[in-house]
Amino acid sequence: MITAVKGTQDLLFPEVRRWQQLEAAARGLFERYGFGEIRTPLLEPTELFVRGIGDETDIVAKEMYTFQDRKGRSLTLRPENTAGVARAVVEHRLHDSPQHARLYYIGPQFRYERPQKGRYRQFHQMGIEILGEGAPGADAEGIAVAVDLLDAAGIPAATVQLNSVGCAECRPPYVALLKASLAPRVSELCGDCRRRLETNPLRTLDCKVPSCQPVLDAAPRLDEGLCAACADHHRAVREILDLLRISYRVRPRMVRGLDYYVRTVFEVTSEALGAQDALVGGGRYDGLLRALGGPDAAGFGWALGMERLLMAMPPLPGERLPRVYLAWSGAGTYARVLLLARELRAMGVAVLVEHQERSFKSALKRADRLNARWALLVGEEELESELYTLKDLASGGQQALAAADVAARVREEAP
Ligand code: AMP
């Protein structure tokens, strides 16, 4: 037996319905905030992620699905979507077009991580990118979109965790301070942290190893090292969140796993999830477009993990098309049934046709197993009168109806 690749999943019916519902709710919300969809390729040049995400990040250093194609080019299955969107924006000069300043995406991402509950190798993200808006209002509004989406999905106990990681001006002095403060306690840090202290000291703050926590908790706060402009920005973001009545917790040592962030970083976590409690992660990435050969344009965005959201999401009241199972018996009936099925579908009814002649008793059994809501029975008598027997499989009641009335009756139950 050939099985799915480790860390990937088949999405089966009816679970896939919840995905569709989430996607539909998100699309509606994104459009109400003025976002338009962008779909970028799953495959990108490896260089894009090395430049866009940073080669010292876990994603680029350890987690990418990278391979050479037949011409020896290094390609990578996208581990996240912001770099791809930024590439597309630069490539198509979308930054010159206000119409393309707000983009959203929904799709699979790939990371070679140890699979566990809430962590997969192929997972799905939906996210937004706001381009060319440097004002703190864009950060707050972007966070509001995430909060509204979680509200719409009915996620309990979601908390916004907020911080500022400063900018090219104030981060280097902070990093120097961080290094100096960690240096005397280096023996208490894990091997990864010791390495990061040399290569990318800020990333030590992201370490989850329990024995490192007391040392990291004593590290200097990022918000105390901000330059005046970053401090003002951070304050304004908080004020606008207050105005929008979005509650948040400032986590002064929170950093994010991607190098391109400046100023605002945030996560949304939910207590409804276990160890992998981060539902949404994002922040401001002014400078990313320039790093990819584009203009010096501001950017803000986030990504939400769909598997994790669905784990925390209560079942939604489901949209369900009425399903009619169409069975027949008698000579000449089958041809009429095939046409009748098309007529009913054109009237918005979901119809399954039985392709073999069966006794009505055996047809009803099959309808039941197929979880149909109705059975429509066509025998020679029905063919003659053009009144078909519609059987309600829940109550057992039945009526003789013309095709249009069948459609009207079953559609009464549709949303
Ligand atoms: P990131 O792109 O790392 O900022 O992640 C954004 C969100 O994507 C996280 O908060 C998770 O909800 C989700 N996510 C990240 N990695 C995985 C994974 N391997 N499996 C499932 N969800 C993930």
Rounded mean pLDDT of 174-178? 94
Encode 339-358 in three state secondary structure: HHHHHHHHCCCEEEECCCCC
Structure tokens at 184: 């005397």
- Pocket residue to mutate for ligand 1, from 57, 80, 122, 123, most atoms within 8 A of Cβ: 123
On whether the CB atoms of residues 322 and 382 are closer than 8 A, the answer is no
Is residue 123 lining ligand 1, measured as CB closer than 6 Å? yes
Rounded mean pLDDT of 128-139? 97
- Looking from the CA of residue 121, the nearest atom of ligand 1 is 19
CA 389 to chain centre: 44
| All domains of the chain in start order, with CATH | 16-170+226-312 (3.30.930.10), 321-412 (3.40.50.800)
Rounded mean pLDDT of 43-55? 93
62 CA to centre of ligand 1 in angstroms = 15
**Closest residue to atom 8 of ligand 1, CA basis:** 305
pLDDT in tens, 237-279: 999 999 999 999 999 999 987 778 999 999 999 888 877 789 9
Is residue 303 lining ligand 1, measured as CB closer than 6 Å? yes
Cα separation, 330 vs 259, whole angstroms: 71
On whether the CB atoms of residues 256 and 202 are closer than 8 A, the answer is no
304 CA to centre of ligand 1 in angstroms = 7
8-state DSSP, 192: H
On whether the CB atoms of residues 333 and 378 are closer than 8 A, the answer is yes
On whether the CB atoms of residues 75 and 42 are closer than 8 A, the answer is no
Q: Where are the alpha helices (DSSP H) in 42-170?
A: 46-53, 58, 82-91, 136-152
Is residue 299 lining ligand 1, measured as CB closer than 6 Å? no
Structure tokens at 143: 């966070």
- Looking from the CA of residue 111, the nearest atom of ligand 1 is 19
Number of other CB atoms surrounding residue 73 within 10 Å: 11
Cα separation, 310 vs 153, whole angstroms: 9
**Is the pLDDT confidence value at 415 over 50?**
no
179 membership: H or E segment, kind and range: helix 171-182
Cα separation, 58 vs 113, whole angstroms: 10
Secondary-structure percent of the chain, ordered helix, strand, coil, rounded to 5: 40, 20, 35
- Looking from the CA of residue 308, the nearest atom of ligand 1 is 12
75 pairs with which residues across the strands? 45, 67
97 CA to centre of ligand 1 in angstroms = 30
pLDDT in tens, 197-253: 888 899 899 888 899 999 999 999 998 899 999 999 999 999 999 999 999 999 999
Q: Which residue has the higher pLDDT, 37 or 316?
A: 37
404 membership: H or E segment, kind and range: helix 403-411
Is residue 125 lining ligand 1, measured as CB closer than 6 Å? yes
- Looking from the CA of residue 280, the nearest atom of ligand 1 is 10
Q: Where are the alpha helices (DSSP H) in 183-301?
A: 191-199, 213-217, 228-243, 288-291
Cα separation, 200 vs 259, whole angstroms: 9
